[in-house]
């Protein structure tokens, strides 16, 4: 048997705000969408041409309060070809939430508080 990882899921409170963040911050665009027949949820799969892996944003109609992310130990990682340019861009956006210069990485935070690691090509 062979398994292929195809997507990760996160739940979001404001779908449009999250989609805009992922497009502006990381260049991800909507690849496909599924809307429940009763409108109780929407799934939006975000991706780009750099990798087949997608990020599934799940919006639940009855969810009104922010998600409890615990200690936020979970994160997704993005490798970028121009690390310095990405760093300056994210700094201008005001989304950098943690930096580790020793490791040569930093993290940005999305509208729901999920952390996303940014690292250079090595």
Determine the pLDDT at residue 71: 83
The residues carrying an active-site annotation are: 117
Give the start-end residues of each E strand in the chain: 7-12, 29-35, 41-48, 51-60, 75-80, 96-100, 105-109, 115-120
For 6-64, how does the pLDDT look when each residue is reduced to its tens digit (9 = 90+)? 999 999 999 999 999 999 999 999 999 999 999 999 999 999 999 999 999 999 999 99
Give me the CATH code for the 7-62+74-120 domain, please: 3.10.180.10
Burial class, 83, CB count within 10 angstroms (exposed 0-12 / middle 13-18 / buried 19+): middle
| Sequence ranges of the domains in the chain | 7-62+74-120
pLDDT at 107 over 90: yes
């Amino acid at each position: 048997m062979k398994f292929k990882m195809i997507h990760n899921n996160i739940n979001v409170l404001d779908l449009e705000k999250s989609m805009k963040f992922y497009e502006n911050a990381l260049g991800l665009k909507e690849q496909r969408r599924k809307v429940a027949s009763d409108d109780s949820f929407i799934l939006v799969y975000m991706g780009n041409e750099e990798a087949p892996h997608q990020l599934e944003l799940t919006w639940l109609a009855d969810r009104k309060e922010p998600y409890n992310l615990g200690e936020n130990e979970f994160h997704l990682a993005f490798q970028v070809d121009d690390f310095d340019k990405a760093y300056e861009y994210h700094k201008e956006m005001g989304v950098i939430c943690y930096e580790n210069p020793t490791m040569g990485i930093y993290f940005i935070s999305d509208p729901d508080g999920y952390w996303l690691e940014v690292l250079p090509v090595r």
